[in-house]
Amino acid sequence: MRPIDYFERGVRKNPNRDFLVSEDVKYSYKQAAELIDNIAKGLYAAGFEFGDSVAVYSHNHATAVIGVFSILRAGGAWIPVNVRNSASSNAEYMRYTKTRWIFFHSEVAHLAQKAIDLIPDLKGAICLDSGDFGYPSLQVFCANGISTEIPDWSDPFGNPNAIFSRWPTGGTTGPSKGVEISNANVVTMVELGLKHYVDNQPNDIVHLAVAPITHAAGIIINIFAPVSGTTVIHKSFDATAVLESIQRDKVTHIFLPPTAYYALLDHPSVRDYDCSSLRQILIAAAPVSPDKFKRGVDVFGPVICQCYGQAEAPMLVSMLSCQVVAEAAQGIKPERLKSCGEVTSCTQVSILDDSGNVMDIGERGEICCRGPLVTPGYFEKPDANIEARQFGWHHTGDIGYLDQDNFLYIVDRKKDMIITGGFNVFATEVESPILALPEILECAVIGVPDEKWGELIKAIVVLNPGHMIDETDVIRVCRDKLGSVKTPKSVEFWDEIPKTAVGKTDKKVIRKKFWPEGDRAVN
C-alpha cells in the first residue's frame, strides 16, 4: 500500500459520497479522484520528476487538500507550508528541502510571491483557484497535461521507502529540519489510526478539520479516506462555528490542539448545541490538563481521547482512549489523566538515561522509541540524525516514565522547546533575532504556563550599558522576522540572567519564577 491507495479504496467504496467540503466548494470522492489524477498529469507534463519536493501554500481549503493528494498520486514529497510563518522563513525552508513546485491559494498570493522570488531553482508555481497572478490556474495546468500518462511508480511492496513528506520541525538555529516521512511510516500511521480512530464504527464518518492542514489535521484526512469519510474543512478555528458544524453536519470526529479544545469547553453556550453525533474528540500536539479532561467528559460525553507522537514518529506512539479517559474521570485509575496513553501495538518505548541505560518502571528519563513509525531521519542533516538515534533508539527529547501497564507519562522536555497553541518553537530560534539587536546584551527565551495556549513565549533580556529599547520594539522585530507564532508575547528586562557553574544560561532557575511547583514542567 501507498498513502494514495487508501484514498483510492475510499473512491471504490463510495464514489458519490462527499470527500471534502469547504465553504465555497466541495468534492465527491469521484470528483476528487479525477481532479487529483489531472493535476498529477499536469505535473508530469510540466517536467515533474518522481520524488520532487512540492509545496502547498494555503490556508485550510478543500482544493489545497486536493493539491496535497495530487502530490501523493504523482509520487512527490509534500512540503507543508505554514501561512502563519513569515514568507522569508517559509522560502528558507523550501530552498533547504529543494522545493521544485508550489501550489498556492490566491488569498496568500502576496506571501507566495515573496517566497517564490527567493527560490531560484523552482520549476513552476500554480494557483489553486485563479489565473490572475501570472501563474497558470489549476484548470489551465490540468488541461496542459490531459494526454500525459502518470507512470506506475509503485512496486510489489508499495514503494515503502519513497518519501511521503519532508515535514518541518521547529528549528534550533536557522531553518527547521525536514523530517523525511516515508510511505511505510504513513501506512503504519493509517493502520493504527483505523484501529484507534475508526475501530468498529467505519460508517458515516464526518471529520471536521479546523486545525491547520499543514499539521496533524491534514495528515489525519488520509486515515478516514479508506472508509469514505467526509472531511468538512474550516479556514480556521472558531468555537461557535465548530459547535454549529457539529450540530448541523453531524460531525463524528474532530482533532484539536489543547488551546482549541479549551476554547470549545469555555464557550458560554456549549451545552446548548447538539453534540450527540460525536464519537471522538482527539487532542494532540501538547499535554492536556487533567481537569480539562474531566470537564470534557462531563460536557461532551465519553468521546475525549489523546495521542502522542511527533514528526519523527507521527501521531500514534501512544493512545489515551476515550474509554480510559471516561473511566479515569469517574475515579477509576484517575492518575491516567496525566498520561499520554498506552504505548501502541507496533511501537516499542523505553525510558533511557544519558548513558543509554534502560530505566526501571516509574523512573524518569528520556522517552525513546523503535518501530515502523520511526522515520528515516532528517533531510540532509547527518549530524542531527546521529544525535537523534543514539544507542539504537529514536530520542524524542521528552522526559517521562512508563507505569506497570505500559502507560506513558511526559513530565518535562530535554530539548529547549516551547509548545504554544500546538506549535513547536525552539527557544534559540526566537533568541537569535533578539540577540542581533544592538541594544541587547543577553537573552533567554522560555515558555511560561498559560490557561489558553498551554505555554506562552516570554523573552528575558539584559540591555547593553547605555542602551534602551522597549518591549514593543522587541516584539515587532521578532514578528517581522519570525511570524506571529514564534514571536514572544511578553518581554521582561532583568539586570542579569542566572548562569550555571560553567557559565551557561540557567533556564531551570529562570523557569522556577514562572512555573508552579508540581510533578511536571509541561502545560
One DSSP character per residue, 115-174 reads: HHTT-TT--EEEESS-S-SSS-BHHHHHHHTTTPPPP----TT--TTSEEEEEE---SSS
Q: What percent of the chain has pLDDT over 90?
A: 70
- pLDDT at residue 412 above 80? no
Instruction: Give the CA-trace dihedral at 309, 310, 311, 315, to 10 degrees.
Output: 20
Q: Are 460 and 492 in contact (CB under 8 A)?
A: yes
279 in a structural domain: no
| Residue 357 is assigned to a structural domain of this protein | no
Residue 41 lies in a domain: yes
> What share of the chain has pLDDT > 70, as a percent?
95
Per-residue model confidence (pLDDT) at position 518:
60
**How high is the pLDDT of residue 171?**
42
Phi, psi of 424 (to 5 degrees): -85, 130
The last residue of one of the domains, among 188, 205, 236, is 236
Instruction: Report which of residues 399 and 415 the model is more confident about.
Output: 399
The tens digit of pLDDT for each residue in 349-388 reads 999 998 999 999 999 899 999 999 999 999 999 999 999 9
pLDDT in tens, 111-164: 999 999 999 999 999 999 987 788 999 999 999 999 999 999 999 999 999 999
DSSP string for residues in 297-338: HHHH-S-EEEEEEETTEEEEEEEE-HHHHHHHHTTSSGGGGG
Q: What is residue 253's predicted lDDT score, i.e. its pLDDT?
A: 97
User: Number of structural domains, the chain?
Assistant: 2
Residue-level pLDDT at 232: 98
Cα(33)–Cα(39) distance, integer angstroms: 10
For the stretch 337-358, pLDDT in tens is: 989 999 999 999 999 998 999 9
- The domain that holds 487 is classified in CATH as 3.30.300.30
Which pLDDT score is estimated for 173?
36
* 216-224 and 3-13 helices, crossing angle to 10°: 50
> Is the pLDDT confidence value at 99 over 50?
yes
Q: DSSP character for 106?
A: G
Identify the weakest region by mean pLDDT among 170-179, 289-298, 414-423, 488-497. 170-179
Binning pLDDT at 50, 70 and 90, where does residue 174 land? Answer: very low
pLDDT grade, residue 443 (50/70/90)?
Answer: confident
pLDDT of residue 505: 73
Is the residue at 282 inside a domain? no
Residue 91's contacts (CB-CB under 8 Å, 6 or more residues apart) are: 114, 115, 116, 117, 118, 119
Q: What is the mean pLDDT of residues 267-294?
A: 89
Q: Which residue has the higher pLDDT, 268 or 523?
A: 268
On whether residue 310 sits in a domain, the answer given is no
pLDDT digits (tens, 9 = 90+) for 23-81: 999 999 999 999 999 999 999 999 999 999 999 999 999 999 999 999 999 999 999 99
Residue 316 lies in a domain: no
DSSP 238-262: -HHHHHHHHHHHT--EEEE-HHHHH
Instruction: Give the residue numbers spanning the domain of 485.
Output: 420-514
The residue-averaged pLDDT of 429-438 equals 83
Strands 348-352 and 365-370: antiparallel
Note whether 343 and 406 are within 8 A (CB). Answer: yes
159-168, 217-226, 280-289 — which is least confidently predicted?
280-289
Q: What is the mean pLDDT of the chain?
A: 91
pLDDT, tens digit, 9 for 90 and up, residues 261-273: 888 988 999 999 9
Distance of CA 103 to the CA centre of its chain: 19
pLDDT of the residue at 157: 93
Query: Residue 96 is placed in which grid cell?
Result: 533547504
Q: Is residue 214 part of a domain?
A: yes
Write down the pTM of the prediction: 0.82
Q: What is the mean pLDDT of residues 393-411?
A: 92
* Residue-wise pLDDT tens digits, 492-502: 999 988 875 54
> Which CATH number does the domain housing residue 25 bear?
3.40.50.12780
Asked if residue 505 belongs to a domain, the reply is yes
> Is the pLDDT at 175 greater than 70, yes or no?
no
